[in-house]
């Protein structure tokens, strides 16, 4: 033990200031033990240069990991984008020649008012993807292009005929989308409730999407039942009942124009029931 103390005292005299070296030579066991502990602490503690090198190494490893993660995300994005383009081309090739232009125009048609569909374009400055709306609660979230998992990703990977699917699979997919939309709406209302114009725009967008799911379900039912489709085309009362049950009835809006209906355009031919506006003025 005495030899160890002499070695530590010599090492401390060579490395520590003179005051600590002098204290190591003292007879007091308390001062000698304190000096040994300080020497061990100084030997185990990294100095400024070692600490800087360690931090730089950690930052370099973290940067390499982030680069690998971005590379994986970019490759996944390009694969998804190529698959989207390929299946869009297949769907257009399956359509008749006279319907391709209408399909392209329908796909590029924007929703009403200032709504914007989520797209695969890079994020713009001061814009966050929240169903086309600027939701302040989502500004701190990292934008994902595209989403991590879509509802139809399983069909895209497992079915070779996608998007040409049988009606029962399309109906099941529509139900899955509607239930997912309902759950998302409930979670958004409970976690990030919005008020004012942004909240109204959010609710309007969700209502439009729910209406689209209900309309898709009605179209599938009409395509599956020819008798129902024929009665739906001919019987106005039955059509109004079916639309009301499906939540697709046009909304009536109170108006102060009680005189001549000068604002209503007078057409030479009556409108088809599918061309009736979604909002009409109720007579006073």
118 near 150, Cβ under 8 Å? no
**Radius of gyration for the alpha carbons in the chain, expressed in angstroms and rounded:** 35
Residues in CB range of 16: below 8 A, 6 or more apart: 35, 38, 39, 42
What is the full per-residue pLDDT of the chain (284 aa) written as tens digits?
555 555 555 555 555 555 565 555 555 777 788 888 888 877 777 676 666 777 788 888 888 888 888 888 888 888 888 888 888 888 888 888 878 877 777 666 655 555 555 555 544 545 444 445 555 555 555 555 545 677 777 787 777 777 788 888 888 888 988 998 898 888 888 887 777 777 788 888 888 888 888 998 999 999 889 999 999 999 999 999 999 899 888 766 555 455 555 455 555 666 666 666 555 555 54
For residue 124, give the DSSP letter: P
In angstroms, the Cα distances linking 7 to 35, 40, 43, 89 are 13, 13, 15, 82
> What does the pLDDT read at residue 237?
92
* Strand positions, DSSP E, 93-134: none
**212-234 burial by CB neighbour count: b if 16+ within 10 A, else e?**
bbbebbbeebbeeeeeeeeebee
Distance CA(24)–CA(8), nearest Å, equals 8
Residue 272 C-alpha from the chain's centroid: 38
> What does the pLDDT read at residue 229?
92
pTM of the model: 0.41
Domain positions in the chain: 2-44, 110-224
Go through the chain and tell me how many residues it has.
Answer: 284
């Amino acid at each position: 033990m005495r030899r160890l103390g002499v070695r530590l005292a010599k090492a401390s005299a060579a490395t520590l200031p003179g005051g600590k070296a002098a204290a190591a030579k003292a007879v007091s066991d308390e001062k000698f033990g304190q000096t040994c502990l300080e020497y061990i602490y100084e030997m185990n503690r990294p100095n400024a240069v070692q600490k800087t090198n360690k931090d730089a190494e950690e930052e370099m490893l973290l940067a390499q990991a982030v680069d690998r993660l971005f590379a994986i995300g970019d490759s996944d994005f390009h694969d998804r984008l190529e698959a989207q383009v390929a299946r869009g081309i297949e769907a257009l090739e399956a359509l008749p020649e006279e319907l391709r232009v209408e399909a392209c125009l329908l796909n590029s048609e924007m929703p009403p008012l200032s709504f914007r569909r989520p797209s695969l374009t890079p994020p713009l400055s001061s814009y966050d993807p929240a169903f086309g709306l600027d939701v302040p609660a989502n500004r701190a979230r990292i934008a994902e292009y595209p989403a991590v998992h879509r509802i139809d990703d399983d069909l895209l990977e497992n079915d070779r005929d996608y998007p040409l699917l049988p009606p029962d699979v399309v109906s099941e997919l529509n139900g899955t989308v509607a239930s997912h939309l309902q759950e998302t709406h409930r979670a958004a209302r409970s976690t990030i409730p919005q008020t004012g114009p942004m909240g109204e725009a959010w609710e309007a967008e969700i209502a439009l999407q729910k209406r689209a799911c209900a309309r898709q379900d009605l179209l599938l039912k009409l395509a599956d039942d020819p008798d129902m489709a024929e009665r739906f085309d001919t019987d106005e009362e039955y059509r109004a009942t079916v639309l009301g049950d499906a939540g697709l009835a046009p909304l009536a809006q109170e108006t102060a124009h009680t005189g001549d209906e000068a604002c209503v355009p007078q057409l030479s031919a009556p409108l088809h029931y599918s061309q009736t506006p979604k909002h009409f003025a109720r007579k006073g």
